[in-house]
Amino acid sequence: MRRRIIIFVSIIQSILFLGHWFLYETWVSFFGLPDSPLKLKLFLGLLSVSFVSTSWLAFRYSNLAVRLLYTVSVVWLGFSSFFFFASWACWIFYFAARLFGLHPEPRIIGTVFFAAAIFAGLYGMVNAAYTRIKRISVKLPNLPDSWRGRVAALVSDTHLGHVRSYAFIRRVISMLIRLRPDVVFIGGDLFDGTKADLNGLAQEWAELEAPLGTYFVAGNHDGFTGHAKHVEAVTNSGVRVLNNEKVTVDGLQIVGVHYHDSVHLRSILRRAELDRERASILLTHAPSGLPIAEEEGISLQLSGHTHGGQIFPFTWIVSRVWGQFTYGLKRLGNLLVYTSSGTGTWGPPMRVGTKPEIVLIEFE
């Protein structure tokens, strides 16, 4: 396990080194050598190791200094990704222009594309801070009459930790209190996985009183090496943790499956002894195992995990992985699936091409 982690971190760090080297070479080529090129090299070299080093600190410590350093590093990670693509755009535009016999001024090219990168990063931060309310309606076969007209809220991927903390979760819960849903589903990745005040952050949910309850399943970030502490913190807040089990709420079957246990989805659903003559909801973090959920008679699956890709062009990459179930309300046979883009962010507190959301689901 330790060896795999070292290899993974080494690969990530090597990619960051190469990306910053490319950024330096592009900057020098299009803007010329600075007065102190060594200082620029050292500055970019420091930034290139900032994410890995502060991540190591973030998994071990939770204090103001670490939170500040980690936040700066992930903000830079977001901006550096835009600068990386801006660098490619500079070279592509430059050589394309030369191919057609044009001789554009390199500094102008660099200014245009790097300014666009800065704008994209700033827009992404503002966009990620503005949580939208997404309203959908679903019609489930054999839904109890008492559930018609009721509203469920889905909150997923808040990623509470060093970047999103108390102020963020309090704002989310205040929005839910104003919206007054009948039931609330927390779809995993409540926490970011870094060192944090788990009990304090989870206790904020005690302020919310949904008439039919609040239900939680763990995501992959809710404890990379086991989610026992995270689940305990949520349980202590009064939220009902669905530990790979079924509960029946006023005639509606609700099944919760933790992310790390979803590899056993079929056996968990069979142990739940679902009544196929009644509507059912499966709450699980990732939109995976869909054919199994459909075969076992689930009516509606609620998930998150994908973030919709969070930041372009990763939106395109994620859509290649998850297909039509990357985001939104989709159907697979008799199964309805809603995949949320998430309420928070992982890594850079930015969203470009996606929007953070709280989903309100009205049952028809």
Q: Give the total number of structural domains in the chain.
A: 2
Kindly report, residue by residue over 243-265, the tens digit of the pLDDT.
Answer: 999 999 999 999 999 999 999 99
Query: Based on the domain organization, do 111 and 219 belong to the same domain?
Result: no
Query: Based on the domain organization, do 191 and 290 belong to the same domain?
Result: yes
Query: Based on the domain organization, do 267 and 149 belong to the same domain?
Result: yes
**Domain extent at residue 138:** 132-363
The DSSP code for 349 is: S
Per the CB < 8 A criterion, the answer to whether 255 and 283 are in contact is yes
Q: What is the mean pLDDT of the chain?
A: 95
Q: What are phi and psi of 174, to 5 degrees?
A: -60, -40
Please give the average per-residue pLDDT across 103-131, as a whole number.
Answer: 96
Query: Based on the domain organization, do 64 and 51 belong to the same domain?
Result: yes
Alpha-carbon span 202 to 205, nearest angstrom? 6
Both tokens of 31, joined, read 């803007």
Alpha-carbon span 341 to 233, nearest angstrom? 24
Please give the average per-residue pLDDT across 56-66, as a whole number.
Answer: 93
- Among 75, 96, 128, the domain boundary falls at 128
What share of the chain in percent tops pLDDT 70?
99
Query: Based on the domain organization, do 223 and 300 belong to the same domain?
Result: yes
- Among 128, 145, 178, the domain boundary falls at 128
pTM, full prediction: 0.93
Please give the average per-residue pLDDT across 7-18, as a whole number.
Answer: 92
Query: Based on the domain organization, do 265 and 348 belong to the same domain?
Result: yes
Kindly report, residue by residue over 182-217, the tens digit of the pLDDT.
Answer: 999 999 999 998 999 999 999 999 999 999 999 999
pLDDT at 357 over 90: yes
Please tell me the predicted confidence (pLDDT) of residue 265. Answer: 97
Alpha-carbon span 134 to 115, nearest angstrom? 32
Query: Based on the domain organization, do 257 and 326 belong to the same domain?
Result: yes
Peptide bond just before 104 cis, omega within 30 deg: no
Kindly report, residue by residue over 215-224, the tens digit of the pLDDT.
Answer: 999 999 997 6
